Structure 1
Amino acid sequence: MLAEKQALILKEVAEGTGAEIGLDSDRNGLQTGIRLWFADLERSRSPLVTLRPTGLHRFEARLTFGNFAAATIRQMQKAQEEEVQLARALVAAVAVNARVTITSGQILSNWLVDGGAFSIIAEKKAIDGRFGEEALVATCRELVIPILAAMAELYGYDPIEELQPPDQEALMEGAVRVQAVKRRERNPRNRLLCLRLHGSVCVICGFDPLVAYGDAGTIIEVHHLQPLSLTREPRPYDPSTDLVPLCPNCHRAVHTRRPVPWTPDDIRSRFRSDA
């Protein structure tokens, strides 16, 4: 049944993680599963997430590593504290909808990838119509994507949109600052986590694009309350307080003040619902 939905699963996971994803079938268990990995690493060198039906109304997503992933693991172990905290927050978000078990008795708040035997198992129960498209999309978003996104954050996938061409004006204004903002605003892992933590309603005006526009309403944007371009020293990163969802209008309003944007409270105090 899962094999028939490979295209759907591949699309969801690639968009959710911001990484190029490889996929094949896994027939090692009692029921055939789908195995996903970072395509540019090759399966044997990548973190692997296997999605498999279990019981009658369950899915299990299991993170393992390929047989030759030692170099990949070493790179992940060099991740900065901000990336580590974001990865942990992504996995913690899985526990909202599933039972999560981490290898060697590690816990959600301070786990580390400590070697090739490291694993994360997330099981979601009571899934009605689990092979239907709607249920599979939800399962990917709740189990597979956050786990692989956490690994992508540790490994260092940066979905940066390059400036083409890099003209002189952009260089004079500071291309590094612009690039950092682009990375953090466009990073699909930040978007995934922000919406998981705060929902899709703009924290300033209360507008919910999904309610207003349906399938065309995936336009909510992610705002960093502390501009990374102004951060001089590394600091602890708390996704629950550093990220907020804003509608495009409010997000643009926040950034009309530079270099320090308006706060959501600043804009909310100016907002007129009858305007």
Structure 2
Amino acid sequence: MISEKKNLILRELEEGTGAAVSATEDFSGLRAGLRIWFSDFEVKHGPVAEMRAYGLRGHRVELTFGNFSGMVLDQIQRAQLEDIQLARALIKSIRPEVEVTIADQTLTDWTINSGAFRMTAKVRDQARPLEDSAIVATCRDVIVPMMAAMAELIGYDVIDDKPANEIAPYEGAILASTVKRRERNPRNRLLCIRLHGEKCIVCGVEPQHIYGEAGSIIEVHHLEPLATLTTPRPYDPETDLVPLCPNCHRAVHTRRPIPWGTDELRKMREELHG
């Protein structure tokens, strides 16, 4: 049963969304399933994803809101345009073979206006839907983008304990400051990879093909550095984010305050190596 894969599912969702996630078995339907929610909220106070078997060879995931989600819904309705764009892009990134529907709305301009919001995804044609590989695929391809989209709208962000412009007085010193650093947000990495793949756009290296399981080290680069923005602006993950291998990412940022452009770095490589 899917509920027996609880620990595997939680691990995949926490890694993919960057948020703490909880789950419990659900026996309310004909088939036992799993109810999944953000640990920061009780199950009745926020978005909940239910994962169940669908037919003999598939999974069904349905995202709804608990009966007492008023505060979270108010927060979502105050989301900035940038967060809305990212949330929609995450849902758009779900592979086309998965049937995704939103009650009474289209997938291009959906909004969450009330607790009646309902998003459903049906995954079909899985040879062995209860095997770990199939469970992981549904988590990564469907539940992660769904929950990550909700996290963007709610306002989850990653806290970095060390600002980039703060240097410890000596090696090993502990700095007590905290700064929000959107570029460290794992959901941005998720979007970048979904839209552009895991191949470095400068050198063409795809670390996962070289290092196997240890190769998930592709990095996300903002073409317009966040530090140079004089006023905040929404950004499009399809045009503003690109994947770079660690070497090229470090090379791009050797020029400050304006990093090298990816085209400039590619030209340098070509001049040196042909």
Match of 2:207 among 190, 206, 209: 209
CA distance in 2, matches of 1:95, 1:118: 22
* CA displacement at 1:157 relative to structure 2: 0.6
CA distance in 2, matches of 1:103, 1:213: 43
* CA displacement at 1:189 relative to structure 2: 0.7
CA distance in 1, matches of 2:92, 2:19: 21
- Unaligned stretches of 5+ in structure 2? 170-177
CA distance in 2, matches of 1:236, 1:152: 17
Alignment-derived partner of residue 159 in structure 1: 158
User: Could you say what secondary structure the match of 2:8 adopts?
Assistant: helix
Matched to 2:121, the amino acid is A
Higher deviation after alignment, 88-97 or 108-117: 88-97
Alignment-derived partner of residue 184 in structure 1: 182
* CA displacement at 1:167 relative to structure 2: 6.0
Alignment-derived partner of residue 25 in structure 1: 25
User: Could you say what secondary structure the match of 1:40 adopts?
Assistant: coil
CA distance in 2, matches of 1:136, 1:255: 38
Deviations 1:48-106 (A, max 9, x none): 011111101111111100111011010011111101000000011125341110122x1
Matched to 2:154, the amino acid is Y
* CA displacement at 1:237 relative to structure 2: 2.0
Matched to 2:160, the amino acid is E
Alignment-derived partner of residue 51 in structure 2: 51
Alignment-derived partner of residue 102 in structure 1: 102
In the TM superposition, 1:72-111 aligns within 5 A as 72-104=72-104, 106-111=105-110
User: Could you say what secondary structure the match of 2:148 adopts?
Assistant: helix
Runs of 4 or more off by more than 4 Å in structure 1?
166-170, 272-275
Alignment-derived partner of residue 38 in structure 1: 38
Deviations 1:153-211 (A, max 9, x none): 000111122229x96879xxxxxxx945xx23321111111111111111110101110
CA distance 1:168–1:238, change in 2 (3 Å): closer
CA distance in 2, matches of 1:109, 1:95: 15
Deviations 1:211-231 (A, max 9, x none): 001100010001111112211
The normalised TM-score by structure 1 is 0.91
Alignment-derived partner of residue 174 in structure 1: none
CA distance in 1, matches of 2:96, 2:251: 33
Alignment-derived partner of residue 2 in structure 2: 2
- Unaligned stretches of 5+ in structure 1? 171-177
CA distance in 1, matches of 2:182, 2:22: 25
User: Could you say what secondary structure the match of 1:235 adopts?
Assistant: coil
CA distance in 1, matches of 2:133, 2:231: 44
CA distance 1:9–1:168, change in 2 (3 Å): closer
CA distance in 2, matches of 1:202, 1:179: 28
Identical aligned residues as a percent? 50
Alignment-derived partner of residue 197 in structure 2: 199
CA distance in 2, matches of 1:147, 1:214: 27
Alignment-derived partner of residue 228 in structure 1: 226
CA distance in 2, matches of 1:237, 1:197: 14
Alignment-derived partner of residue 131 in structure 1: 130
User: Could you say what secondary structure the match of 1:51 adopts?
Assistant: strand
User: Could you say what secondary structure the match of 1:43 adopts?
Assistant: coil
Name the structure with the higher helix share: 1
* CA displacement at 1:128 relative to structure 2: 1.6
Q: How well do the aligned residues superpose, as a CA RMSD in angstroms?
A: 2.1
CA distance in 2, matches of 1:127, 1:156: 34
Deviations 1:10-64 (A, max 9, x none): 0000110011101011222221111110111111111001111110111111110
Matched to 2:225, the amino acid is P
Match of 2:251 among 232, 243, 253: 253
CA distance in 2, matches of 1:262, 1:109: 34
Please say if residues 94 and 122 of structure 1, whose CA atoms lie closer than 8 Å, have aligned partners that are also in contact: no
